[in-house]
Structure 1
Amino acid sequence: MYAKPQCPPLVKIIVVVVIAIELALVGFLAFGRASAQDGGAPVESTTVDAGQQEPAQTQAPADTASDQAADEPAPEPVTLTVSFAGDCTLGVSAKSDPDVSFNARYEKEGEDVSYFLRNVADLFGADDLTVVNMEGALTDSSDSADKDYAFKGTPDYAKILGGSGVEAASLANDHARDYQEQGYNDTIETLDANGVSSFGDDRIAYRDVKGVKVALIGVCAIEGSAPESYAQQMTDNIAKAKAEGAQLVLVYANWGVEKDYTPQESDMLLARQAIDAGADLVVGSHPHVVQGWEVYNGRYIVYSLGNFCFGGNSNPKDKDCLIFQETFTVTGTEVAPATENDVKFIACSVSSSSKRNNYQPTPAEGEDAERILGKVQESTDKIAAMAADLPAA
């Protein structure tokens, strides 16, 4: 019989050991795979409140935003000079003397519209923006308001402003609707056709000046108006202008008492409201004479520039007036506080003749300029005394 071969004992032992080692290795690997599927080694846990993202999720966007901000160049400062002049009544009323009226002078000069602002055209041409208070209508309408003095001129008179460096005109005054809504709308249309932006009451004008968005806001705050109404409208307009991206906000106010060289307390409070709301300058007219100025929270308030190219009177007793200029420095949305080096008060007369009004405003010189500026300073001193007694905002 064939005998079955026998494995030596030592070989058996070696085989058993090898098999045992292999089984152990297979079991170990199987356990490792199971552990990996269950999440592996424990990690430190983080508790996140509801609505809060984990730090790892918020860190990356924050870094990205800061990187983008670092890549964007900081805005460069922009300087621009704005000139303001007072009441422009380009025309006549039914009570005007036809022989020496504004219209008579226009005809005498051969209908040369450049005559009227000839002596200030270079000054206005050298600035970046010129603003006036346009009192009266430029219209062919004959439907006059029922009032003692209703002023109007031919639509061609808009060329007086547009052709002499005036870029904007406030219509927030007591003569803008002297010829009803038709006259008011005609004035807007003819000014616009001649490159002059009009603004006032509920209408804001925006001008791009050297890349700066400038908002022009007009408010009429004279006797007979409801203080709460015009103040609210003004501050609402300032807020709206800011929301619409205005970088520089300028307010032109029609206020005060005629022929009074000192502003009313109500005017001063209204000016402060404008600046507290975000205005960078407040200028005014309506009294027909000059008044002083003050600085409030780093912003100038100039209370009355007086008349300017004024067809309302052929020979006003007080012919003194002002052109106010301010140079603003705008960096992004920030406007630098004004200093005395940023402003100019240019003494003028409504006429180039001392004998009568020839409707040609002219810068004053020498002793005459000193006299006018002295009058402005006297009013300014009174304003400072009044300011000390104003109620706190």
Structure 2
Amino acid sequence: MKTIAFLYLGVAFSMVLIFVSLLLPLPQKTTETAGIPKTLAISTQPPELKVILTGDVMLGRTVETKSAEEGDYAYPFRRVGERLRDSDIVFINLENPIIEDCPPHADGFKFCASPKMLEGLVFSGVDIVNLANNHSGNYGQNGIEETQNHLRRKGIAATGLGELVILKREGTRFGFLGLDLTTRNLSDNDIELIRRSNTKVDVLILGVHWGVEYTQTPTDIQRTWAREIIQAGADVIAGHHPHWVQISEIIDGKPVYYSLGNFVFDQMWSEETKKGLLIQQIYEDKTLVKEKKSPIYMASWAQPHFIE
């Protein structure tokens, strides 16, 4: 009987403890400001987005011949591709059509390259090319359309044919346009296209083919056009065509790179045409917050490397 009595007493005591514990407040966890536990705190820092701009890229002539000799059609990009891939967007000026029946050629100014040469762009993570230049039409409209088709199959976008291309990264809309001003003036239609495009994107980047080849200084008309382009709504101008690196300047807070020189080309006959400038821009919260300029040099046939 004593055993049973003790058993009842133990059960009753346990029930009292449970009842009392329910009445007591729960212990408070250590928290950060705003009442968020440290382990659950969410960073409000906007992501960094990297955009890379390069000089002229021409994949034909001796560039393709050298790549074929090496047995590696990504050969021109082997020493720079890793840095390009470590970015969110890579934008280049493609200075030649991509066509199946590209005849072998070591000289001349009718450029083309075979689709095999796109391996280098894929290896380097190129996202978009500008076709607004004085060589994209070397094989006529059919050549332009074939180029677009080959690029599309590789997942590479193309601008410069009168249309805005938008690439979205982490909620930021980057817009790309291309203009070829080597044989004509900046027009009212160009300005209107820039204005319309500005309303559709957060950042508007223009690839502009202009200026005088093999010179170090932009012309007065280029600087006038640059101001008009920026005032119409462009956020960045990446210039090409001179094949020499030229000055850059800030207009209304926006960077203008008048010429980024060469990036991949077979113009090995002068020191200046072996040089180029790679621009890495960093964006946070849809705003350009910093940039890095990296000089490049082609010591070997059409294979650039960084000279930092």
TM-score, normalised to structure 1's length?
0.63
Aligned match for 2:216, one of 250, 261, 265 = 261
Q: Tell me by how many angstroms 1:286 deviates.
A: 0.5
Corresponding residue for residue 277 of structure 1: 232
Distance 1:302 1:195 in 2: 27
Three-state SS of the structure 2 residue aligned to 1:289 is: coil
How far did 1:236 drift?
Answer: 2.2
5+ residue gaps in structure 2? 1-43
Aligned-pair distance for 1:328? 2.1
Identity of aligned residues (%): 27
Cα offsets for 1:113-140 (capped at 9, x unmatched) = 2321111111111111111110011102
Q: Note the C-alpha offset of 1:198.
A: 0.7
Deviation at 1:178, TM superposition (A): 0.7
CA contact (8 A) 1:289 1:321 kept: yes
Asked if 2 retains the 8 angstrom alpha-carbon contact of 1:215 and 1:246, the reply is yes
- In structure 1, the residue matched to 2:190 is 234
Residues 101, 114 of structure 2: 8 Å contact kept: no
| 1:295 CA displacement | 0.9
Question: Deviations for 1:220-252, whole angstroms, at most 9, x for unmatched residues?
Answer: 111x31x1xx43333222222234x31111011
Whether the 8 Å CA contact 1:113–1:160 is kept in 2: the answer is yes
Q: Distance in 2 between matches of 1:76 and 1:246?
A: 22
**Partners of 1:117 and 1:325 in 2: how far apart?**
17
- 1:138–1:154 Cα contact (<8 Å) kept: yes
How far apart are the structure 1 equivalents of 2:219 and 2:235? 21
Equivalent pairs counted in the alignment come to 261
- 1:81 aligns with 50
Kindly report the root-mean-square deviation, in angstroms, between the aligned alpha carbons of the 2 structures: 2.1
Relative to the length of structure 2, the TM-score reads 0.79
Answer whether contact 2:198 2:234 (CA < 8 A) is retained: no
**Partner secondary structure for residue 84 of structure 1:** strand
> Residue 102 of structure 1: CA displacement?
1.9
Q: Is the 8 A contact 1:248 1:330 kept in 2?
A: no
Whether the 8 Å contact between 1:218 and 1:234 is mirrored in structure 2 is: no
Structure with more relative contact order (C-alpha pairs < 8 Å, separation 6 or more): 2
Structure 1 or 2: more strand by fraction: 2
The residue number in structure 1 matching 2:302 is: 359
Any stretches of 5+ residues in structure 1 without a counterpart? 1-74, 93-100, 366-393
- Aligned residue for 2:169? 209
Residues 80 and 329 of structure 1 are in contact (CA less than 8 Å); yes or no, is this contact kept in structure 2?
Answer: yes
The structure with the greater share of residues assigned to helix is 1
Cα deviation for residue 171 of structure 1 reads 0.4
Match of 1:160 in 2: 120
- How much does 1:317 deviate? 3.9
Per-residue deviation, residues 307-340 of structure 1 (Å, max 9, x unmatched): 11114x3544421111012112335xxx3xx56x
Q: Distance in 1 between matches of 2:275 and 2:65?
A: 23
> 1:119 is matched with which residue?
79
The 8 Å contact of residues 111 and 135 in structure 2, kept in 1 or not, is answered as yes
